[in-house]
């Protein structure tokens, strides 16, 4: 009996170990950066050999940050600097960083590199950003810091520092948007007067955690080098269906108002714009159907009911990040549903469904 028990325990351990092994092993997807650095900045950081060594460690920490943040990745994502640095020379003139930054958006050898990291390590002002539209379709991550700020020593893992801030920017490289743009305070929502809160995520709403949206997107774009030009359309389902009912029966003639949420800018906060962008009426079956969802969230400047751009820009990015949908039945009762574009995208990328359905019950 004792021997049998030992055999059973051993078999159980083998099954568990095999299962754990299968869960942990993932294909590695590697993204290679062409790194630009100024000649004088390079010398101040100890020269090329020292800089390359520290650069490797920083990229290693960014890779850890990406993969050790809770996620639903299908792959292990690795970020590496290319062996050869692209050394430019501003000749001590800090105003010339921008000149070489523009050159970093030029042609890129995609057989060697996947994106560009442009470092300005003695800049007048600090800031990290990511721009698309490189001549070869590449993204360019821009890292501006002052001389006193050492990008290699400003944080020990897992504390937040340049390596993790770059991890956020690399999220943009792989197609993600800033989720903090979806945070709306209750006082900035004149329609339903409720706070709108996106999930915690390294894209601006949390630290060391990936939202399900980012996991689904990064899995989808994993092997795109560079990202597909029509990615922003392909991530949407083809149709949005809103079904309205009461006690199991469809409600026809309900008014359905779409109020857009906009990014914060110089002249406005992140808010729900108080003028309905579109208005629909439910059919006899109690539904509305909307196609071309890319166009819904990316309005033309000639569309009615969008915030004006002149004389002041009240529509930063010219984009609706979410819609607060107001459903009003025939007696005036109201229901509200929030439809961030990233939620539609997440569901589509996770399931492959081309129709996003919302059920509203009075």
Strand blocks (E) in 54-152: 76-81, 86-88, 115-120, 127-131, 140-144
Statement: residue 9 has pLDDT above 90: no
More confident residue, 14 or 296: 296
- Residues 73, 67: contact at Cβ < 8 Å? yes
Whole-number Å distance between alpha carbons of 45 and 87: 13
Phi, psi of 81 (to 5 degrees): -85, 140
Statement: residue 8 has pLDDT above 80: no
Query: What pLDDT digit, counting tens, does each position of 239-253 carry?
Result: 999 999 999 999 999
Statement: residue 281 has pLDDT above 90: yes
> Pick from 219, 218, 208, 213: which is nearest to 198 by CA?
213
Q: Please, where are the H alpha helices in the chain? A: 2-24, 39-44, 48-68, 97-103, 162-173, 212-221, 231-234, 293-297, 341-351
Phi, psi of 70 (to 5 degrees): -50, 135
Average the pLDDT over 262-279 and give the result.
97
Tell whether pTM > 0.85. yes
Average the pLDDT over 278-300 and give the result.
98
For residue 342, the tally of other CB atoms under 10 A from its CB is 26
Whole-number Å distance between alpha carbons of 356 and 237: 7
Average the pLDDT over 324-335 and give the result.
97
Whole-number Å distance between alpha carbons of 169 and 106: 19
For residue 149, the tally of other CB atoms under 10 A from its CB is 14
For residue 313, the tally of other CB atoms under 10 A from its CB is 15
Statement: residue 105 has pLDDT above 90: yes
Residue whose token pair is 């945070």 = 183
pLDDT for the residue numbered 183: 98
Phi, psi of 259 (to 5 degrees): -105, 125
- DSSP reduced 3-state for 324: strand
> Mutual orientation of helices 212-221 and 341-351 as an angle, nearest 10°?
60
Whole-number Å distance between alpha carbons of 324 and 342: 14
**Alpha-carbon torsion (88, 91, 92, 96), positive or negative:** negative
Query: What pLDDT digit, counting tens, does each position of 108-158 carry?
Result: 999 999 999 999 999 999 999 999 999 999 999 999 999 999 999 999 999
pLDDT for the residue numbered 13: 45
Statement: residue 326 has pLDDT above 60: yes
**pLDDT band at residue 24 under the 50/70/90 scheme:** low
Whole-number Å distance between alpha carbons of 103 and 91: 16
Whole-number Å distance between alpha carbons of 257 and 279: 5
> Pick from 328, 320, 239, 248: which is nearest to 280 by CA?
328
Any idea what the Cα angle at residue 96 is, between residues 93 and 97, rounded to 5°? 110
Whole-number Å distance between alpha carbons of 182 and 189: 12
């Amino acid at each position: 009996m004792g021997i049998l028990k030992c055999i059973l325990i051993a078999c159980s351990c083998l099954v568990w170990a095999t299962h754990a092994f299968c869960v942990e092993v993932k294909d590695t997807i590697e993204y290679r950066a062409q790194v630009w650095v100024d000649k004088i900045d390079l010398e101040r950081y100890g020269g090329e050999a020292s800089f390359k060594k520290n650069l490797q460690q920083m990229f290693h920490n960014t890779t850890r940050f990406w993969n050790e943040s809770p996620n639903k990745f299908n792959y292990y994502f690795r970020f590496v600097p290319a062996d050869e640095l692209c050394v430019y020379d501003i000749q001590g003139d800090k105003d010339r960083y921008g000149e070489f930054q523009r050159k970093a958006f030029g042609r890129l050898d995609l057989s060697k590199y996947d994106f560009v990291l442009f470092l300005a390590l003695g800049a007048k002002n600090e800031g990290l950003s990511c721009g698309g539209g490189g001549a070869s379709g590449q993204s360019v991550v821009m890292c501006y810091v002052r001389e006193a700020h050492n990008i290699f020593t400003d944080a020990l893992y897992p504390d937040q520092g340049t390596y993790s801030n770059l991890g956020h920017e690399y999220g943009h490289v792989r197609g993600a948007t800033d989720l903090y743009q979806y945070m709306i305070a209750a006082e900035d929502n004149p329609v339903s007067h409720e706070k709108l809160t996106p999930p915690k995520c390294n894209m601006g709403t949390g630290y060391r955690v990936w939202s399900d949206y980012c996991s689904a997107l990064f899995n989808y774009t994993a092997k795109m080098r560079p990202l597909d030009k029509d990615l922003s359309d392909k991530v949407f389902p083809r149709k949005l269906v809103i079904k309205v009912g009461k006690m199991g029966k469809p409600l026809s003639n309900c008014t359905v108002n779409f109020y857009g949420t906009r990014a914060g800018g110089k002249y406005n906060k992140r808010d729900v714009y108080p003028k309905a962008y579109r208005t629909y009426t439910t059919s006899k079956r109690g539904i509305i159907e909307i196609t071309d969802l890319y166009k819904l969230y990316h309005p033309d400047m000639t569309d009615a009911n969008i915030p004006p751009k002149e004389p002041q820009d009240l529509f930063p990015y010219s984009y609706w990040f979410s819609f607060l949908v107001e459903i009003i039945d025939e007696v005036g009762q109201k229901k509200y549903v929030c439809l961030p574009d990233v939620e539609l995208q997440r569901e589509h990328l996770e399931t492959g469904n081309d129709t996003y359905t919302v059920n509203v019950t009075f």
